[in-house]
């Protein structure tokens, strides 16, 4: 987690995001995710090489439960996941390195996330791990909204194999 700079006065607030220098040098695009409904789950998304990407994510409106899953086969934390809350009030952003699948569930309606991304989107290299599958993530809102792609996502085992094969390991 990385703190962001903010300035507040009677007019409102100004928040400055800080992409890591190495991430900023490789910045490919900036994206915004708008989520009208509370309980929406997006992810767990990742891309394989040559389109594996780093992300810097901030919640600029509302709040989300962030979930990061390590799919790097030789990592000490392989197969484990971490959860934490990002919100407009926390003034935090999260860095997601290559080899980490990312997803979230909106905890409030009209939530907006802001992304810095280091790679372009590739439908051939993009995958989703089933967020309700074998990882047993305790999503806080049971009445959730999922895309068809995310609901039929791959298993953790399949994700790790695809990622590993893309690295020629």
Active site residue 158: no
N residues, the chain: 169
Number of neighbours of residue 143 by Cβ within 10 angstroms: 7
| Rounded distance between C-alpha atoms, residue 155 and residue 169, angstroms | 19
Active site residue 95: no
Measured CA distances, 15 to 4, 12, 116, 140 (Å): 7, 10, 15, 28
Q: Please pick, among 18, 95, 115, 158, the residue that the annotation labels catalytic.
A: 115
Q: Please pick, among 45, 102, 127, 163, the residue that the annotation labels catalytic.
A: 45
Active site residues: 45, 115
């Amino acid at each position: 987690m990385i703190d962001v700079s903010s300035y507040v006065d009677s007019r409102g607030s100004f928040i400055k995001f800080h992409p890591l220098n190495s991430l900023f040098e490789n910045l490919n695009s900036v994206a915004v995710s708008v989520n009208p409904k509370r309980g929406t789950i997006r992810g767990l998304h990742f891309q394989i090489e040559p389109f594996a990407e780093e992300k810097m994510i901030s919640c600029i409106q509302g709040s989300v439960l962030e979930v990061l899953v390590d799919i790097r086969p030789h990592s000490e934390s392989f197969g484990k996941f971490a959860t934490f809350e990002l919100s407009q009030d926390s003034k935090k952003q999260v860095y997601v390195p290559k080899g980490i699948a990312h997803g979230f569930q909106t905890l409030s309606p009209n939530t907006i996330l802001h992304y810095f991304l280091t790679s372009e989107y590739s439908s051939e290299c993009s995958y989703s791990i089933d967020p309700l599958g074998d990882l047993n993530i305790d999503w806080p809102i049971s009445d959730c909204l999922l895309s068809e792609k995310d609901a039929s996502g791959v298993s953790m085992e399949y994700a790790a194999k695809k990622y590993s094969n893309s690295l020629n390991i």
